[in-house]
Amino acid sequence: MIRAHNLTLSVREGQHSRSVLQGIDFHIERGEWVALTGANGCGKTSLIRCFNGLNTPSAGSLTVAGLDMRPAHNRAAVKQRVQLVFQNPEAQTVGSTPFEDIAFGLENRGLARDLMIARIGEILQQVGLAHKTEAEVSTLSGGERQRLAVGCCLALDADMIIFDEATSMLDPEGRLDILELAQGLWQAGTTILWVTQRMEELAVSPRIAVLGGGQLLYDGSPRSLFYASALPDALGWTPSPAVRVGKLLQRQGWPVHLLPLTGQELEEIL
């Protein structure tokens, strides 16, 4: 789905150019779930904007869905197939109702009107907004708006959805809701890149990439990140309660594959 080799991105600042991403080697297979993390300003959003053609790398190579991202027409083609869900729930709706918003996404499909209405119904059902079909978008909660944004990705039939800290402005219930919606899409075959700074969201990701200062610092499993790498401490992360207990067990000689990442795993172990 994504193949980046030595990807470098510079941005202009007045007379100068400043490098935001340096020498990133990174790949994502079709159907994978990968989490991307790192402190504010480390380059996460800049990187994912390369993946859907909004940013153009200054050097290195990048192919997305098999398309070389240098030619502008390939970048335009990829924008459809790789969709972003942003942080701010208020920033990503165009219609005044969920119905209109999904209809907007389906517009270029050339569907007959009755098929289009049926498809809108299916999508709103899938994202749990069937009961809000004709509601004013301004009356939706943050979580409902994020679900609507996911519905728009489905209307465009995206191969890959990138969630850019999409839960960071939601309450705990709304966060879990969007995470579970994304997990359902992943199980149905959509490739997911889940950008987050939340430990509990990293813990449920099979693969984690860590960016720091525009470079890829880690790419591997959550267990080896939390139990075999010095990086979380070096970056000053606060471990989750499950990992804090796991570290105590590790000191007593427990094998790494038995150490807990989530509260549920901790409960099972105890």
Ligand X SMILES: Nc1ncnc2c1ncn2[C@@H]1O[C@H](COP(=O)(O)OP(=O)(O)O)[C@@H](O)[C@H]1O
Please report, as ranges, the residues that interact with ligand X according to CB under 6 A: 11, 20, 38, 40-46
Min CB(266)–ligand X separation in Å: 30
Min CB(269)–ligand X separation in Å: 33
Query: Residue 167: what residue type?
Result: T
DSSP 189-222: T-EEEEE---HHHHHT-SEEEEEETTEEEEEE-H
Interface with Mg ion (CB under 5 A): 44-45
Phi, psi angles (nearest 5°) of residue 232: -55, -40
Min CB(46)–Mg ion separation in Å: 8
Min CB(102)–ligand X separation in Å: 28
Nearer to ligand X, 36 or 124 (CB): 36
Say how far apart CA 71 and CA 56 lie, in whole Å: 10
Residue 132 contact among Mg ion, ligand X, none, beta carbon within 5 to 8 Å by kind: none
Residue 38 contact among Mg ion, ligand X, none, beta carbon within 5 to 8 Å by kind: ligand X
Q: Say if residues 226 and 261 touch (Cβ distance below 8 Å).
A: yes
Say how far apart CA 157 and CA 161 lie, in whole Å: 10
Residue 252 contact among Mg ion, ligand X, none, beta carbon within 5 to 8 Å by kind: none
**Residues 6 or more apart whose Cβ sits within 8 Å of residue 188:** none
Residue 42 contact among Mg ion, ligand X, none, beta carbon within 5 to 8 Å by kind: ligand X
Residue 167 contact among ligand X, Mg ion, none, beta carbon within 5 to 8 Å by kind: none
Nearer to ligand X, 44 or 75 (CB): 44
Say how far apart CA 63 and CA 57 lie, in whole Å: 11
Residue 50 contact among ligand X, Mg ion, none, beta carbon within 5 to 8 Å by kind: none
Whole-angstrom distance between the N-terminal and C-terminal Cα of the chain?
A: 39
Nearer to ligand X, 43 or 246 (CB): 43
Q: Say if residues 52 and 78 touch (Cβ distance below 8 Å).
A: yes
Q: Say if residues 163 and 99 touch (Cβ distance below 8 Å).
A: no
Nearer to ligand X, 40 or 252 (CB): 40
Min CB(41)–ligand X separation in Å: 4
Nearer to ligand X, 37 or 97 (CB): 37
Nearer to Mg ion, 74 or 167 (CB): 167
Phi, psi angles (nearest 5°) of residue 140: -80, 150
Nearer to ligand X, 11 or 115 (CB): 11
Q: Say if residues 61 and 37 touch (Cβ distance below 8 Å).
A: no
Residue 138 contact among Mg ion, ligand X, none, beta carbon within 5 to 8 Å by kind: none
* Strand duo 2-13 + 207-212: pairing: unpaired
Min CB(30)–ligand X separation in Å: 24
